Amino acid sequence: MLRFDRRLLTNFDWIMLVAVIVVALLGLVNLYSATALQQGLGTSVFIRQVAYLLVGFTVIFAIIMVDYKVLTKWNYHLYIMTILLLVAALVIGTDVAGTQRWINLGFFRLQPSEPAKLMLVLTLASYYYRKDTGAGFTFRELLVPLGLTLLPFALIVRQPDLGTAMMLIFIFVSMTLFVKLKWSTLLTMAGVGLSFVPLAWFFYLKPYQRQRIMTFLDPESDPLGTGYHIAQSKIAVGSGATFGKGYMQGTQAQLDFLPERHTDFAFSVWAEEWGFIGSIFFLACYFFIVLWGMNIALTARDKFGVLLAFGIVSLLFWQAFINLGMVLGLLPVVGMPLPLFSYGGSSLLTTMAAIGILMNIRMRRYMTGS
């Protein structure tokens, strides 16, 4: 419910807000460089991202007005709504680059797989909050959250978007390991997970997905084909050297060698232009948000707040980890934007909603609650 309590203003999380503004502004600076030369000054992509960012801050302030505990009552309604959106994306979704990931709303193209990640965090946090007795979860008790994870996982894989689908698995594993498990449950989970790897390789992954993994292991085997993204990204990052080539002076981006430079490979543009020093500065700003999020989890007023904050931090961390690993050639190439930094309306608005929930938890840490 709405709480117009002066303590909310006193405890407003200015630290998180300023950190988010800094990273978002760095993203806008980078986006302008990545797109301006090809599309002219004031590109439509840049303007749309500014609009998404303004809407995102509106979303943050709307979310912090409502006590986050109300989410325990609405989590399954939101989950069902998200599942329906994922189904709609398959049935009536816009076909882009051989996939069906977007629902065209006229004024906005919604990618349901993005809010699905946040909805899974909310759903798992609610389940573990309600069912945790302190004795440790058994494998049978994990079948429900596993099913809640596999349903959107299967729908997203059908789009196909294996990278985003795997994020759901990372979220499930992270949040499940965070709660108390029986040792037998942990061993069973490890056995099931390891046994699934060869089955996925031979019977589940599509040929192009297996090729991406093989290219990751040996990117030089097809430098003009499947290895092109990794090769060009590594050239861009390496050529930045210590201090970079200068703003809008990166040859890989400005001469159009680097693909997807405004989305998945946005950090490659930054590294080429600002070098090692600029990259360290950006990563310090970015992972400060992650560390502050962990601080919010540790100081939350109740177990639901702890689980919810930890789940959101896991979401932000794994997306950044996978994107940066992909950019540096340490992980296979998958469609994974860098939150707050890469271009994308659905991704940005979902991230801003997640940040709003974190700020909500921080602001209400003084309130009494179970």
**Range from 180-184, 203-207, 266-270 carrying the lowest mean pLDDT:** 203-207
Q: How far is CA 195 from CA 32, 184, 189, 365, in A?
A: 46, 17, 10, 42
Provide the CA 357 distance to its chain's centre, in angstroms: 15
Per-residue pLDDT at 217: 57
Closest CA to 350 of 94, 155, 119: 119
Q: Say if residue 361's pLDDT is above 90.
A: yes
What would the pLDDT profile of 189-218 be if each residue is shown by its tens digit?
A: 777 777 777 766 666 666 666 666 665 555
Model confidence at 41, pLDDT cuts 50, 70, 90, reads very low
CB count, 10 Å around CB of 214? 15
> With contact defined as beta carbons under 8 Å apart, do 339 and 316 qualify?
yes
93 has a pLDDT exceeding 70? yes
What average pLDDT score do residues 322-351 get?
90
Is residue 103 within 8 A of residue 94, CB to CB? The reply is yes
* Alpha carbons 285 and 219: distance in angstroms, whole number: 31
Give the N- to C-terminal CA distance of the chain in Å, as an integer. 17
Q: Which carries the bigger pLDDT value, residue 40 or residue 36?
A: 36
Provide the whole-model pTM: 0.90
Q: Which amino acid is at 183?
A: W
In the beta sheet, which residues pair with residue 110?
103
370: pLDDT strictly greater than 60: no
Q: What percent of the chain has pLDDT over 90?
A: 54
> Closest Cα to residue 150, out of 64, 86, 75?
86
Looking at every residue in the chain, the average pLDDT score rounds to: 86
* Strand partners for 102: 94
Sequence-separated (6 or more) residues with CB below 8 Å from residue 310: 174, 175, 178, 294, 297
pLDDT digits (tens, 9 = 90+) for 229-249: 788 888 889 898 999 999 999
Question: Crossing angle, helix 14-39 and helix 266-299, to 10 degrees?
Answer: 170
For the segment 160-173, the average pLDDT, to the nearest whole number, is: 90
CA distance 331 to 333: 7
62-82 pLDDT, tens digit per residue, is 999 999 999 999 999 999 999
Cβ atoms 359, 9 nearer than 8 A = no
Q: Residue 4 and residue 247: Cα distance in Å, rounded? A: 45
Mean local confidence (pLDDT), 212-225: 58
Residue 112 has, within 13 A of its CA and on its CB side, a CA count of: 31
- The Cα 138–Cα 141 span in angstroms is 5
Overall average pLDDT of the 144-162 stretch: 90
The winner for highest mean pLDDT among 105-119, 175-189, 286-300 is: 286-300
